[in-house]
Structure 1
Amino acid sequence: MTNSPMTALNKQALREAAEKAIGAHERLSIMPSDDIFDISLHEGTQLDADITDLNAFNEAANPATVLALLDELEAAEKRIAEHNFENRLLANADRDIKALRQRIAELEAGTVAVKQFGDFQIVHYGGSEDYAKGYIDCQNNYNKALAAAGIGVKGE
């Protein structure tokens, strides 16, 4: 509910006054504007009822009421624009999330290329035989850990 001075009750009263005033306005608008008549002579007639309805509407549709309605309309339009902007952000985020999930799935399904060295290569590059054996054990454990994580290993 808004904190507006135009409550639902005020709006309903304004609507009812406007609906009553429509017919009165149409009937009175066809009268010549320069006619002067004594309303007291028309008490209880349609003319009296029309003037009463128009006066009630004019009382309800005062400048403060019109300004309150315009303020509410402006606030509602601003909220709609904010919601539309937020919806676009959410749609973009949703699209990005879907793309990222797809990329993650591709990466998880992929195979990692790991440079594999043999004993001879390590010794050839200056490592001792014990170092080479330790390196190969470490390399094998690394490959097992990758496989356990669901990452395929392709040796080069």
Structure 2
Amino acid sequence: MTIDKQALRETAEKALPAMQRLLMMPNDELFDEAALNVDGDVDAANAFNLLAGPETMLALLDENLQLQREKDAIEAVALALRDDMRQAREQLEAAEKRNAEQREYYEGVIADGGKRIAELEKGHQEAAKQINSWRRLAKQNIAERGKDISELEAARQHIAEQSAIVAAAEKLVRCKGRYHSELNYRALAKLFGVVTPDLPPLEHENVHYADAAEVEITALRQRIQELEARAVNLPKRSVDEVMHLSGFSRDYAEGWCAGNDNAIHEIRTAGIKVKGE
């Protein structure tokens, strides 16, 4: 049913004062109809009653019920939306909290990682310095060992020469007694056909040449013993230790250890001891 609500409103507005006047009419029949305008009021009331009949009232009630249902549905939707919004807000707050915690965690991880990188770089530099120090020490020891070997060979050669002098001098002494002059020594050597190296200079003329040679030989032998007793300080490192100290790869560490072992082998071959053995 279609209701003209505007027409109904206008009719009701006209009927309301008309019905109020009709209700004020006296109970007897003594009144002035012209003065009260009874016909007009009755027509207005009848017009309203015609429009506002049972069908109109039911239609209005149905419409009002439908509006109420729609209102209830809208309120339910609004309540659901409010709950959804509250839940979404709670989820957003929880997500922001998690993001803050994760950001703090990762910032800490990054800071720790940067610190660890700095420590590793520092350790790498220190290991590199240590390895360079070992290399310099090994080169120094090898150079010193080479010098010692040269001194040792020279000492042995000198001992051999001095031994020849002692033998010749002893031969001359056995034949002609003790002589204190190099001139006499050379003359006797020529007389007996003895070929000897030059005698070392004497500090005192009264010291026998054989005694002087023997003293020098004794000093040289002592020097040889000192040289042979010296030991090279060449540290022995494992592959894992070199990797840990240097921070380099296993191939590098293995090459370093192999070179170190070769150096130790060459030093031992030369008859030089290595400390720790």
TM-score, normalised to structure 2, is 0.34
- Residue 78 (structure 1) aligned to one of 44, 69, 73: 69
The structure that has the greater radius of gyration is 2
Change (3 A) 1:34 1:79: farther
Alpha-carbon distance in 1 for matches of 2:65, 2:29: 41
Alpha-carbon distance in 2 for matches of 1:62, 1:34: 30
- Residue 87 (structure 2) aligned to one of 83, 91, 96: 96
Q: Which residue of structure 2 aligns with residue 17 of structure 1?
A: 11
Alpha-carbon distance in 2 for matches of 1:14, 1:36: 34
Change (3 A) 1:66 1:49: same
Task: Give the letter aligned to residue 24 of structure 2.
Answer: I
CA contact (8 A) 1:14 1:57 kept: yes
1:52 matched to 2:43: yes
Q: Give the gaps of 5 or more residues in structure 1.
A: 115-156
Alpha-carbon distance in 1 for matches of 2:76, 2:23: 46
Alpha-carbon distance in 1 for matches of 2:17, 2:70: 36
Say which structure, 1 or 2, has more relative contact order (CA 8 Å, 6+ apart).
1
Deviation at 1:35, TM superposition (A): 4.9
CA contact (8 A) 1:6 1:69 kept: no
Alpha-carbon distance in 2 for matches of 1:76, 1:49: 36
CA RMSD of aligned residues (A): 2.9
Alignment of 1:1-156 (within 5 A): 5-7=1-3, 10-32=4-26, 35=29, 46-111=37-102
Deviation at 1:109, TM superposition (A): 2.5
Task: Give the letter aligned to residue 15 of structure 1.
Answer: R
Task: Among all aligned residue pairs of Structure 1 and Structure 2, give the percentage whose two residues are the same amino acid.
Answer: 35
Alpha-carbon distance in 1 for matches of 2:71, 2:9: 24
Aligned pair count? 104
CA contact (8 A) 1:25 1:54 kept: yes
Alpha-carbon distance in 2 for matches of 1:49, 1:92: 58
Deviation at 1:108, TM superposition (A): 2.2
Task: Give the letter aligned to residue 104 of structure 1.
Answer: A
Q: Which residue of structure 1 aligns with residue 150 of structure 2?
A: none
Query: Following TM superposition, where does structure 1 have runs of at least 4 consecutive aligned residues deviating by more than 6 angstroms?
Result: none
Alpha-carbon distance in 2 for matches of 1:23, 1:95: 53
TM-score, normalised to structure 1, is 0.58
Alpha-carbon distance in 2 for matches of 1:12, 1:58: 15
Deviation at 1:30, TM superposition (A): 1.7
Task: Give the letter aligned to residue 46 of structure 1.
Answer: N
Task: Give the letter aligned to residue 20 of structure 1.
Answer: K
